[in-house]
Amino acid sequence: MNAPFNRHTGLAAPLPHQNVDTDQIIPCRFLTGSRSDGFEQFLFHDLRHDSAGRPKAGFVLDEPHFRAATILVSGDNFGCGSSREQAVWSLLDAGYRAIVAPSFGEIFYNNAATNGLLAIQLETDQVSRLLQSLADGPRDIAIDLPQQTLSAEALGCVRFPIDAFFKDCLVSGMTALELTLTHLETIDAFERAHKAELSWAFARPYTKPMLDPALTRQRP
């Protein structure tokens, strides 16, 4: 179970870049930790530090008044790139509950849904107005997930779209895995019929390394 997500009010911080990819969110070299170790110290590591590992001055989220932020507002295509779930975990571990952007990388979006991090898609001009309002300091944003509304001084109260599946998982706290396990009988029945129909796909389980035709064959 994830913690159920219904309403959340918190300080918002801006990261006004497009295409914030998962390599920027958490670089490759910090992916070996265990989930229980936490990933917050690696969040945006290379935007926060120079190549010698010293803190960089001027990274927006390190400004003292943004440290307590729980909502991140960013540009188009947030979370594009690699499938690393650590991108979502590092945001959650650093205290973020929701990300607001005009669009999201698809794998990131699914990973967010899996872990109870709310990804809110708003229109580009709405996000621009939010980013402008956050330029000189944090502002409160109030999110009501059951009503699908977001309230901020710069926007008033606006409705956001969300797919029903994601919403249901977040509100109930039930994970996709738990939900799947309640449908095991349906999966069993489907699998039997499927394997009968596509028997060729399951007819040759791999047992041990065999003499490989590719080894002796000249490919064109």
Pick out residues in 149-168 that bind another protein (CB under 8 A).
163-165, 167-168
213 binds another protein (CB under 8 A): yes
Give backbone dihedrals phi and psi of 180, rounded to 5 degrees, phi first: -65, -40
34 binds another protein (CB under 8 A): yes
Cβ at position 170, least distance to another protein in Å: 12
CA distances 114 to 45, 89, 109, Å, are 24, 11, 9
Window 168 to 197, contacts with another protein (CB under 8 A) = 168, 175-177, 179-181, 183-184, 186-187, 190-191, 194, 197
Task: With contacts defined by CB under 8 A, name the span among 47-55, 63-71, 132-140, 152-160 that binds another protein.
Answer: 47-55
Task: Select from 105, 118, 130, 133 the one that contacts another protein (CB under 8 A).
Answer: 105
Task: With contacts defined by CB under 8 A, name the span among 56-64, 69-77, 135-143, 148-156 that binds another protein.
Answer: 69-77
CA 85/CA 202 separation, integer angstroms: 30
CA 126/CA 161 separation, integer angstroms: 13
| Residues 7, 145 contacting (CB under 8 angstroms) | yes
Per DSSP, which regions of 25-174 are E strands?
Answer: 71-74, 98-101, 118-121, 139-144, 149-152, 156-159
CA 14/CA 100 separation, integer angstroms: 10
Task: Give the binding-site size for another protein (rule: CB under 8 A).
Answer: 76
Task: Select from 50, 63, 123, 153 the one that contacts another protein (CB under 8 A).
Answer: 50
Cβ at position 63, least distance to another protein in Å: 18
Strands of the 149-152 sheet, one edge to the other: 118-121, 98-101, 71-74, 7-15, 139-144, 149-152, 156-159
125 binds another protein (CB under 8 A): no
Cβ at position 142, least distance to another protein in Å: 25
201 binds another protein (CB under 8 A): yes
Window 79 to 98, contacts with another protein (CB under 8 A) = 80-86, 88
